[in-house]
Structure 1
Amino acid sequence: MCEQAFSCLTNHLISVEGEIHVCLSQVRPTIEYLCSKKQARVSNEVLDTAKDKSSEIIDEECGLAITYSKKGNVMPHARYDCVEQDFTRTENEVSGPAGNNLNFCEQCYCYICDKLASECQYWNVPSACHCNAHNKSKYWKAHRDVALTGALSIFNFNLVDIDSELRHGGALLQKFCLELALEYNKYLMGITTSRSSLIPCICTCHSQLKMFCEVCQVNHVEIRLYSYTPVFNMVLNFLKQAEKEKPKAAAIMMIGVAKEILLHKQHPQEVFNKSDQTATPSQAVPIFMHRITSELQRMLVLSDFPPYLFNKLKTFYKALPLPSYCYIFTNCLNVLSWEDPFLTSILRGQNITGQRQKKGKKETLWEDFPVVLARVERMEAREEYRELVRYLRVIKCNDTIKLRALQDKVPFYFCKYGDFNSAAQSFHLNTSLSCCIACRLTPFQYKIYLKILRTGTVPAGCELSEERQWVLVEGGNLIKTCLLLKCSLRILFVNEVLYRDVYCWSRLIQIHCNDFTMKNDMPQVPPPEFVKNIAVLAASVLEDLKNGIVGLPKPFSSALCWESALILVTVAAVQMLHKNISMMKIVLPLIVAYGKNFWALKLLFDSLSTKEDILHHFCAILSNNIYVHRSMMIDVVKCHDANYVSDLVTLFLSFKQTTIQSLSIPVLNVLVEAWHEFKTMECLWIQSLHSFLQNKVVPAMEMVNTAQFIELRNKLNRIL
Structure 2
Amino acid sequence: MEPEDSVIVISDTEGENDGESSVFIVENSPEVADASKEKKTEVIDEECGLAITYSKKGNVMPHARYDCVEQDFTRTENEVSEPAGSNAYFCEQCYCYICDKPASECQYWKLPSICHCNAHNKSMYWKAHRDVALTGALSIFNFNLVDIDSELRRGGALLQKFWMELAVEYNNYLMGMITTRNCLITCVCVCHKQVQMFCEMCHLNHVEIRLYSYTAVFNVVNNFLNQAENEKPKAAAIMMIGVAKEILLHKQPPQETFNKDDQTSSPRQAVPIFMRRIVNALQRMLVLSDFPPYLFNKLKAFYKTLPLPSYCYAFTNCLNVLSWDDPFLTSILRGQNITGHRQKKGKKEMLWEDVTVVQARVERMEARGEYRELIRYLRVVKCSDTLKLRALQDKIPFYFCKCGDFHAATQSFHSNSNLSCCTACRLTSYQYMIYLKILKTGSVPISCELSEEGRWVFMKGANLVKDCLLLKCALRILFVNEVLYRTVHCWSGLIQIQCNSLTLTEDVLQVPPHIFVKTTAVHATAIIEDLKNGIVGIPKAFSSAFHRESALILVTVAAAQMLHQNLSVINIVLPLVVAYGKNFWALKLLFDCLSMKEDILHHFCGMLCSNIYVYKTMLIDAFKRHDADYVSDLVTLFLTFKQATIQSVSIPVLTVLVESWHEFKNKGHHWTQTLHSFLQSKVIPAMEMLNTAQFVELRNKLSQLI
- The TM-score normalised by the length of structure 2 is 0.91
% same residue: 75
Which residue number corresponds to residue 398 of structure 2?
A: 412
What is the CA deviation profile of residues 290-340 of structure 1, one whole-angstrom value per residue up to 9, with x for unaligned ones?
A: 111111111110111100000001111111111222222111111000001
Which residue number corresponds to residue 649 of structure 2?
A: 663
SS of the residue aligned with 1:388?
A: helix
SS of the residue aligned with 1:397?
A: coil
CA distance in 2, matches of 1:516, 1:253: 55
- Which shows bigger deviation, 640-649 or 127-136? 127-136
Q: Is the CA contact 1:512–1:566 (under 8 Å) kept in the aligned structure 2?
A: yes
Which residue number corresponds to residue 22 of structure 1?
A: none
Q: What are the equivalent positions in structure 2 for 1:641-720 lying under 5 Å apart?
A: 641-720=627-706
- Which shows bigger deviation, 467-476 or 409-418? 467-476
Structure 2, unaligned runs of 5 or more: 1-7, 13-23, 44-48
What is the CA deviation profile of residues 430-465 of structure 1, one whole-angstrom value per residue up to 9, with x for unaligned ones?
A: 111231111111111111111111111111211111
Q: Is the CA contact 1:443–1:498 (under 8 Å) kept in the aligned structure 2?
A: yes
Which residue number corresponds to residue 220 of structure 1?
A: 206
CA distance in 2, matches of 1:527, 1:703: 30
The offset of 1:582, in angstroms, is 1.8
The offset of 1:508, in angstroms, is 0.4
SS of the residue aligned with 2:500?
A: helix
- Which shows bigger deviation, 474-483 or 387-396? 474-483
Kindly provide the amino acid, as one letter, of the partner of residue 38 in structure 2. I
The offset of 1:79, in angstroms, is 3.0
- Which residue of 122, 142, 159 maps to 1:173? 159
SS of the residue aligned with 1:552?
A: coil
- Which residue of 282, 286, 294 maps to 1:296? 282
What is the CA deviation profile of residues 561-609 of structure 1, one whole-angstrom value per residue up to 9, with x for unaligned ones?
A: 1111100100001111111112222111000000111110111111111
CA distance in 1, matches of 2:50, 2:426: 100
Q: Is the CA contact 1:517–1:523 (under 8 Å) kept in the aligned structure 2?
A: no
Do residues 57 (structure 1) and 38 (structure 2) align?
Answer: yes
Q: Measured at CA, do residues 423 and 516 of structure 1 come closer, stay the same or move farther in structure 2, by a change above 3 Å?
A: closer
SS of the residue aligned with 2:372?
A: helix
Q: Is the CA contact 1:59–1:65 (under 8 Å) kept in the aligned structure 2?
A: no
What is the CA deviation profile of residues 608-636 of structure 1, one whole-angstrom value per residue up to 9, with x for unaligned ones?
A: 11111111111111111112211111110
Q: Is the CA contact 2:440–2:502 (under 8 Å) kept in the aligned structure 1?
A: no
Q: Is the CA contact 2:108–2:116 (under 8 Å) kept in the aligned structure 1?
A: yes
Q: Measured at CA, do residues 77 and 535 of structure 1 come closer, stay the same or move farther in structure 2, by a change above 3 Å?
A: same
Kindly provide the amino acid, as one letter, of the partner of residue 703 in structure 1. M
Which residue number corresponds to residue 358 of structure 1?
A: 344
- Which shows bigger deviation, 372-381 or 129-138? 129-138
Q: Measured at CA, do residues 514 and 51 of structure 1 come closer, stay the same or move farther in structure 2, by a change above 3 Å?
A: closer
Which residue number corresponds to residue 80 of structure 2?
A: 94
The offset of 1:349, in angstroms, is 0.8
Q: Measured at CA, do residues 127 and 28 of structure 1 come closer, stay the same or move farther in structure 2, by a change above 3 Å?
A: farther
Q: What are the equivalent positions in structure 2 for 1:194-209 lying under 5 Å apart?
A: 194-209=180-195
Which residue number corresponds to residue 282 of structure 1?
A: 268
What is the CA deviation profile of residues 113-152 of structure 1, one whole-angstrom value per residue up to 9, with x for unaligned ones?
A: 1222222111111222212323343332222111111111
Q: Measured at CA, do residues 548 and 274 of structure 1 come closer, stay the same or move farther in structure 2, by a change above 3 Å?
A: farther
Moved beyond 6 Å, runs of 4+: 1-5, 63-72, 516-520
- Which shows bigger deviation, 145-154 or 186-195? 186-195
Q: Is the CA contact 1:57–1:66 (under 8 Å) kept in the aligned structure 2?
A: no
Kindly provide the amino acid, as one letter, of the partner of residue 319 in structure 1. T
Kindly provide the amino acid, as one letter, of the partner of residue 390 in structure 2. R
Q: Is the CA contact 1:195–1:220 (under 8 Å) kept in the aligned structure 2?
A: yes
The offset of 1:52, in angstroms, is 5.3
Q: What are the equivalent positions in structure 2 for 1:560-579 lying under 5 Å apart?
A: 560-579=546-565
Do residues 427 (structure 1) and 408 (structure 2) align?
Answer: no
Q: Measured at CA, do residues 242 and 60 of structure 1 come closer, stay the same or move farther in structure 2, by a change above 3 Å?
A: closer
SS of the residue aligned with 1:351?
A: coil
SS of the residue aligned with 1:245?
A: coil
Which residue number corresponds to residue 577 of structure 2?
A: 591
The offset of 1:157, in angstroms, is 0.5
Do residues 400 (structure 1) and 381 (structure 2) align?
Answer: no
Q: Is the CA contact 1:56–1:67 (under 8 Å) kept in the aligned structure 2?
A: no
Which residue number corresponds to residue 319 of structure 1?
A: 305
- Which shows bigger deviation, 275-284 or 485-494? 275-284
CA distance in 2, matches of 1:61, 1:586: 116
CA distance in 2, matches of 1:660, 1:58: 129
CA distance in 2, matches of 1:519, 1:204: 85
- Which residue of 235, 253, 256 maps to 2:221? 235
CA distance in 1, matches of 2:622, 2:464: 29
Kindly provide the amino acid, as one letter, of the partner of residue 37 in structure 2. E
- Which residue of 420, 425, 430 maps to 1:444? 430
Q: Measured at CA, do residues 196 and 521 of structure 1 come closer, stay the same or move farther in structure 2, by a change above 3 Å?
A: closer
CA distance in 2, matches of 1:548, 1:535: 20
- Which residue of 604, 608, 622 maps to 1:622? 608
Number of residue pairs aligned between Structure 1 and Structure 2? 683
Q: Is the CA contact 1:627–1:670 (under 8 Å) kept in the aligned structure 2?
A: yes
- Which residue of 165, 170, 185 maps to 1:184? 170
The offset of 1:208, in angstroms, is 3.0
Q: Measured at CA, do residues 697 and 248 of structure 1 come closer, stay the same or move farther in structure 2, by a change above 3 Å?
A: same
Which residue number corresponds to residue 18 of structure 1?
A: none
Q: Measured at CA, do residues 54 and 469 of structure 1 come closer, stay the same or move farther in structure 2, by a change above 3 Å?
A: closer
Which residue number corresponds to residue 532 of structure 1?
A: 518
The offset of 1:65, in angstroms, is 11
The offset of 1:85, in angstroms, is 4.3
Kindly provide the amino acid, as one letter, of the partner of residue 212 in structure 2. Y
- Which shows bigger deviation, 381-390 or 82-91? 82-91
Which residue number corresponds to residue 38 of structure 1?
A: none
- Which residue of 481, 493, 498 maps to 1:512? 498
- Which shows bigger deviation, 278-287 or 171-180? 278-287
The offset of 1:539, in angstroms, is 0.8
Q: Measured at CA, do residues 700 and 27 of structure 1 come closer, stay the same or move farther in structure 2, by a change above 3 Å?
A: closer
The offset of 1:717, in angstroms, is 2.6
Q: What are the equivalent positions in structure 2 for 1:332-343 lying under 5 Å apart?
A: 332-343=318-329
CA distance in 1, matches of 2:506, 2:236: 63
The offset of 1:84, in angstroms, is 4.8
The offset of 1:712, in angstroms, is 2.4
Which residue number corresponds to residue 458 of structure 1?
A: 444
Which residue number corresponds to residue 17 of structure 2?
A: none
CA distance in 2, matches of 1:415, 1:316: 42
Do residues 386 (structure 1) and 372 (structure 2) align?
Answer: yes
CA distance in 2, matches of 1:332, 1:61: 74
Q: Measured at CA, do residues 127 and 477 of structure 1 come closer, stay the same or move farther in structure 2, by a change above 3 Å?
A: same
What is the CA deviation profile of residues 11-54 of structure 1, one whole-angstrom value per residue up to 9, with x for unaligned ones?
A: xxxxxxxxxxxxxx96569x9xxxxxxxxxxxxxxx9xx98548
SS of the residue aligned with 1:549?
A: coil
The offset of 1:68, in angstroms, is 8.9
Kindly provide the amino acid, as one letter, of the partner of residue 669 in structure 1. T
Q: Is the CA contact 2:42–2:52 (under 8 Å) kept in the aligned structure 1?
A: no
Q: Is the CA contact 1:642–1:688 (under 8 Å) kept in the aligned structure 2?
A: yes
The offset of 1:210, in angstroms, is 3.0
Q: Is the CA contact 1:57–1:65 (under 8 Å) kept in the aligned structure 2?
A: no
Q: Is the CA contact 2:499–2:506 (under 8 Å) kept in the aligned structure 1?
A: no
CA distance in 2, matches of 1:64, 1:496: 103
Do residues 582 (structure 1) and 568 (structure 2) align?
Answer: yes
Q: Measured at CA, do residues 119 and 507 of structure 1 come closer, stay the same or move farther in structure 2, by a change above 3 Å?
A: same
Q: Is the CA contact 1:588–1:626 (under 8 Å) kept in the aligned structure 2?
A: yes
CA distance in 2, matches of 1:541, 1:148: 78
SS of the residue aligned with 1:114?
A: coil
Which residue number corresponds to residue 550 of structure 1?
A: 536
